Amino acid sequence: MMGFFSSQKVELPKHNPVLEHALKIPSLQKLVGKRVVLASNSPRRREILNTFGLAPEIVPSTFEETLPFGGFQDPHEYPVATATHKAVEVYERLVKENPDDAPDLVIAADTVVLSHPPEGLSSTPRFANEDPGPQDILEKPRDKEDNLRMLLDLNGGVCEVVTGVTLVFPVLEAPGYRIKSIEERTKVYFAQNEPSLLEAYAENGEGRDRAGGFAIQGLGGMLISKIEGDYHNVVGFPAASFFKFLDVLMEEEVDFLDD
């Protein structure tokens, strides 16, 4: 009897990004057997998706993130636009490489940190009629000194982490795919830290390759007093909103992940 069962071939789907521990919910069940691609080489985004039971194929985008920030009237549109360029580039490239195995879904994301008028726990007073000015994007620090400067500016204040998420999936009408996007915003409040703590963090180097100059999931968490919004968004991917977005698309888009 054992020999009979061991000789049987089990046909597994060619692509199966859904992990065993994933919740049995419609949005994830719909992805079973689908070719799902993450257009990013970010280990943090991959780990977040893996945590919730999704293991997409990793195909980093070659799109150069050079969109002019000043060209956007609303700064929150900037990461959405960048994510869209990333997703489309990967989708078109994979279709061209192998039309018979085109992606069923390409996921791309871009996270930026924006300056924000200090409020709440901030120690910096503002007058009611004072114009805080436009939000500025906080890039990755150039070096240790630049990282310390950024941390001193943020100290006791608040910044806004914004992630744009874009999905690209095939449809019958031209150009052969559809683009859908969302954005997620989270406020991050910095404690009134001692300069020596900020100096030690800048010296450590953890924030050197992070927008805003800090990593909330690491040692940088010592600098933060609270957040308002999705923690995973600050790390790099708003998982809760992403899965809710899949549910919405399943209801509203007849071609979404159609067999």
The phi, psi pair for 10, rounded to 5°, reads: -100, 120
Contacts of 138 (CB under 8 A, 6+ apart): 112, 113, 114, 115, 150, 159, 211, 212, 213
Q: Give catalytic residues, as residue numbers.
A: 110
Reference 80, options 61, 67, 94, 99; nearest CA is 67
Q: How far is CA 42 from the centre of its chain?
A: 9
Q: 85 to each of 52, 66, 164, how far by Cα in Å?
A: 26, 11, 11
Taking phi over 0 as left and psi of -120 to 50 as alpha, with beta for the rest, 100 belongs to alpha
